[in-house]
Each structure stands twice: as C-alpha cells, then as structure tokens.
Chains A and B, each alone.
Chain A
C-alpha cells in the first residue's frame, strides 16, 4: 500500500496538477462569491476543458472548483448579505451582522479557517473512511432520511429569536412555498402560471429574501446610517476567538463528513445541522444570529466538510449524491473510469493519486481564500447608497443566468418584497430559509416511506438510526416547550410585579 501511495504522490506532485487545482480553487471562490453563480455551474462549465486533460488532473480541477465555490459563497453572504450559494445561507445569519459592526474581515477569516479545517478533515475521512461511511450511507433510506429531516427542522425553535410562534409561522410559509410546482408523483401544486409548474428556484428565493429587503428598507425609510460605508475595524482573528470556535469547527466538520456521505443531503443541510448543534451547546448560544463567530465557524466547517465526503458514495459505490458529483461521474466516464467497487481494483493508482491531490486542495483553498477575501473586503468601503442598488443588479444578472428565465427574476423581486414585509412585521427570516431548504426533502421522504410501507407508520421506527433521530427530536421538542413555558411564566410574573 505504501509503495502505491508513494507512486501516487509522485504522479500528483506535478506542476500541471497543482496549476489545475489552484486555478480551480481560485475560479471557484470567485464564482461562488457572485450571487446566482453556483458550484454546479462552475463544474459544468469546466467539464468540456477536462476532455483535453489527463484523468486525475481533470477530476482534481472539478473538485477544486466545487470546494472553492462552496467557500466563495460565504464571502458575499458575509459582506453583502447575499448567499452566493445555498450552502452559505446559514453564514448570513451571523456573518452580515459582524460585517455591519465593522468586523467583516474577522468574519471572513473565521469562515476561511473553518472551511479549510472542515475541508481537510473531509479529505482525511475520504482517505480512510470511504468504505465504512459508504456502507453506513447505504443504510439510510427514506424513513431514516425523514427522521433526520424532522430533527433538523427542530432548529426552527432555536433560530426563531424573540417569538417561537412567529418563527413557526415563518417556517410554515417556507414549507408552503417549497411545495409549489410538480410533486414526486407528477401532480401540480399551486401552479398559478405555467412557469410555476417547475417550482420556485432555491437561489432566487434565498437571495430575494435576504439581499433585497435591505435595499427596500433603505429606499423606503432612508436611514442616515445607511449612507455611510461599513466601518473597517480590527480584522485579525485572535487566537482566543479561534479557540472559542474550535469545538464548533470540529463538530461541524464531522457533521459535514457524515451527512455529506449520504447521497442527496448536501452541504446546505449539513450547515444548518451544524449551526443548530453549535447554538444548542455553545455558552454564547443566545448571541447566535447577532454576529457570533462560532455560528460562522459551525456553518462553514460543515458545508466544506461535506464537499470531500460527497465523493465517498461516488467513488466507493458509483452513486452520485448531488448534481455536482453527477457531473463528476460524467468526467470519470469520459476518461474511461467507472466509479464503484471495481475502481478500487482496476485503477487503484488513480484513486490514490486523487486522494493525495485532494489533500493538497485544502492548502490551496487557504491561499486562494486569503488572497481573494482581502480584495473582497474592500466592498465594505463602498457607501450603501451605491452598493445596495448594484447588488440588486448583480443578483438580477446572476439569477437570470441560472436558467435564462425571466420568471426567476420575478421570484427574486417578489421575495424581496415578502422579505421586507416580514422585516416590518418582525417575522424572522431564518426559519423560512431552513424550512424552504429542508421542506421538500422532509415531505418527499415521508411520502416515499409511506408508499413503500403501504401506509404503515411503523416504517419510521424500523432501524436504530430512525429511533436515534426520533429520540433526539422528542427530547428537543420537550426542552423547547419547557423553555417557552418558563419564559412565559417569568414574563407574567414580571408584568404582575410591575402592575403592583
């Protein structure tokens, strides 16, 4: 094995491979930072170039693009409240408040460090745990998936802010909007127009909900403070701040690896799950959503942590977990490689070369991220009255380019108005976000499970994985009810004391 690894190292450590990875990461970071341009787009655009490259170099280029774009999404999420990718949506919650407080650079630094650590742990696990994780992933069927989604949705309680009731209302709105379009059995729901039959795109909805309300607020209320550029304070990440986030980084990385290895989950869910866990366990849990570095660390370590792990089912089983790995499967096949158990028998040298190359990508991500983030931080110096309208135009172009659809642009603008109305009514946007992302997975897996079991609810309790998530969900619901009850009682006591 060690001889083969040595040969693989020699094969990887070449200038063309390093150049491909570096270019891929850099381009990925920039593409991910542009709202509307996604990692899928980056990987798909690069696919034709891989025809002319050797197999390992091709795959390394595509993986580098994927990782770069996943991190790049955090840059726009932090600086302009516009998640470049859906997996960076959670980063907005703490990243933007930090940027507004003049700590944009600090937020970008923790995002970069967390992404690199998550990415490295993910690569290591790809190296050592590909087979056991792939076997575990195979045991996760629709019922287990449903229970996992149910547990993930309980995060609504922790990101509802002041009022749990308003948080649930927001989540219901997200769940409802996620049902628009064709369902898994081909029935149309809420298809008020022909365009709505294909549903509402995730990116226009998310960007509209977060980026546009700031602009509308500025136009409607014209607050004085919005005329100035954001302040640039001390942007270095201190050792104490890093130490304060280290637990969340490692936890997030492990969550990213486990969830990333399960086909169909992807980095967005991993980011929310990790954020939720960090909030539950952190001593600064109450400050999450107001500009807490640990929140960014949890979200970013998980979304980059799942990048390498999504390769696990692809390489070990030949199962692409999402669209990006689907495109990568195409790249493998173009070069005559068939992912799956036979790949490890017939092309072990290529597999090892790929593993080693991917390990290097974490270092490249750090270098490219550091250089690019520094340049992007300058966005903070642009006055808001110039910046916010330009962001809208950038979003309009980015969203249109996804599917060349004017309907997506309409969704973007309508969601901006909805987001502004929610802002006025104090309805938190974060529960909407998580419900909109997780809702379809929750419903599809519930309906699939019930179809498989012919309507028997017992299907949800047939494996230890389902039981584990069910127990966690029940426990968390009980704790939430207890917390809300205590809050209500304290408020009532305070009101009666002030009346006396």
Chain B
C-alpha cells in the first residue's frame, strides 16, 4: 500500500505547490513598488518554498512510479480503488466536514454554548458507539457549560451569544 500512498502524496503535493506557485503567489502576495534598502521582496521566500515543494512532489511521483508498476503487476489494490470501495468511509468523512462547517457558520447564529453542545452531541453519535448513552447525553450538556463557566470566570472571554436566540447562558447562570 505504501507505494500507492507515496504516489498519491506526490500527486497531491505537486498539484498543491503548483497552484501556490502559479496561481496564489501572483494574486495574493503583493509586492510593494518600493522596498527599502536591499531587502528581498515578500514573494521571494514563498516562491523558494513552493519550488522546493513542487520539486519534492515530482520526485515523490517519480520514485513511486516503478513501485506502482510493480504493485499493479502483483495485483495490489490501489488506494483509489480502496477508497472508492469504501463509500461508507467517504460518507462519514463528508459528514465530519459538514458538521465542522455547520458549527463554524451556525455558531454566530445560535451562540457558542448551544453550538458546542450540539457539536459534542453529534460527534458522540458519529463515533457509532452507544454503550454509554447516558454519559454521552450528560456530557454533551454539562461539559460545554462547565467550560463556558471556567473560561468566562477565569479569562473573562466574551463568547458569542447568538443572533437567533434571545436568551443567553449568562442570564441563566446569573438567575
């Protein structure tokens, strides 16, 4: 399997560093019209790193290729086919991405504490192990609230209270 993984790692790295070098650096690294003294421009270092990364990506591809050929001759299952053969894993991974995105975009709307309560609950469900159901339910509610109290009392962190919910946890706590 390693030879396949090396090939895909090389492929991903090559594409990534090529995009950085040819697309992102020209657009997102602003070179000022005047640079004081003889200081190197701000794009010099990212370019050097991206070139090294690109060369290493291609090298990883080249080094993995003979082993890939050998593996295909020996009928070793490739990473791609293995991933495609495991749709459940892909679905779960996409599920994780959706949950994380929902947390990031939903947190300003429903508030930090309710969002973390929901996030913890959903993650417990996603582990697929329901042997300790009561612990899961209890922890989902109590743990984020305890952390909220700890951080608001000790570090005085102002957690977002949410635009949609009219009440805040701090009101409940101070009642």
- Name A residues whose Cβ lies closer than 8 Å to a Cβ of B: 37, 41, 45, 162-163, 165-166, 168-169, 172-173, 175-176, 179, 183, 185, 187-192, 215-216, 218-222, 227, 383, 385-386, 388-390, 392-394, 396-398, 400-401, 404, 406, 409-410, 413, 416-417, 420-421, 424-427, 443, 446-448, 450-455
A219 contacts which of B42, B127, B160 (Cβ < 8 Å)?
B127
CA of A480 to CA of B60, assembled, Å: 17
Once A220-B92, A389-B123 are accepted as A-B contacts, the answer to whether A427 and B9 lie under 8 Å apart by CB is: yes
A404 touches B89 (CB 8 A): no
B127 touches A218 (CB 8 A): yes
B139 touches A222 (CB 8 A): no
A406 touches B6 (CB 8 A): no
16 further contact pairs, Cβ within 8 A, besides A401-B151, A451-B37: A163-B60, A165-B10, A172-B53, A175-B45, A187-B31, A189-B29, A219-B92, A220-B92, A221-B89, A222-B128, A227-B131, A386-B124, A406-B104, A417-B100, A425-B9, A454-B37
- Range, interface on chain B: 35 or more
Decide if B167 is an interface residue (CB 8 Å cutoff). Answer: no
Once A176-B50, A176-B53 are accepted as A-B contacts, the answer to whether A166 and B6 lie under 8 Å apart by CB is: yes
Once A169-B53, A187-B32, A447-B40 are accepted as A-B contacts, the answer to whether A413 and B103 lie under 8 Å apart by CB is: yes
Once A165-B60, A172-B17, A183-B42 are accepted as A-B contacts, the answer to whether A397 and B148 lie under 8 Å apart by CB is: yes
Residue of A nearest to B154 (CB): A45
12 A-B interface contacts by CB (under 8 A): A166-B9, A189-B29, A219-B126, A220-B92, A383-B129, A385-B124, A386-B132, A400-B151, A413-B100, A417-B100, A451-B39, A455-B38
Decide if B35 is an interface residue (CB 8 Å cutoff). Answer: yes
Residue of B nearest to A184 (CB): B39
For the residues of A in contact with B, the DSSP-based class is helix
Which residues of A have CB within 8 Å of B160? Answer: 406
A425 contacts which of B8, B39, B123, B150 (Cβ < 8 Å)?
B8
B155 touches A215 (CB 8 A): no
B116 touches A397 (CB 8 A): yes
Residue of B nearest to A227 (CB): B129
Once A187-B29, A397-B116 are accepted as A-B contacts, the answer to whether A169 and B9 lie under 8 Å apart by CB is: yes
B157 touches A189 (CB 8 A): no
Which residues of B have CB within 8 Å of A401? Answer: 151, 155, 157
Q: How many A-B residue pairs have CB under 8 A?
A: 182
Q: In the complex, what's the smallest C-beta–C-beta distance from B62 to chain A, in angstroms? A: 10
Q: In the complex, what's the smallest C-beta–C-beta distance from B74 to chain A, in angstroms? A: 12
Which residues of B have CB within 8 Å of A390? Answer: 120, 139, 143
Which residues of B have CB within 8 Å of A179? Answer: 45-46, 49
Which residues of B have CB within 8 Å of A190? Answer: 24, 28-29, 46
CA of A227 to CA of B60, assembled, Å: 36
Once A166-B60, A172-B56 are accepted as A-B contacts, the answer to whether A406 and B108 lie under 8 Å apart by CB is: yes
B120 touches A385 (CB 8 A): no
* Across the A-B interface, the 9 shortest Cβ-Cβ residue pairs: A455-B38, A172-B53, A389-B123, A451-B39, A187-B42, A425-B9, A401-B157, A385-B129, A454-B38
Residue of A nearest to B44 (CB): A447
Which residues of A have CB within 8 Å of B76? Answer: none
B38 touches A393 (CB 8 A): no
Once A173-B53, A190-B28, A390-B139 are accepted as A-B contacts, the answer to whether A451 and B38 lie under 8 Å apart by CB is: yes
Decide if B68 is an interface residue (CB 8 Å cutoff). Answer: no
Interface centre among A192, A396, A404 (most CB of B within 10 A): A396
Interface residues of B in 1-57 (CB under 8 A from A): 2, 5-6, 8-10, 12-13, 16-17, 20, 24, 28-32, 35-40, 42-43, 45-46, 49-50, 52-53, 56-57
CA of A401 to CA of B6, assembled, Å: 39
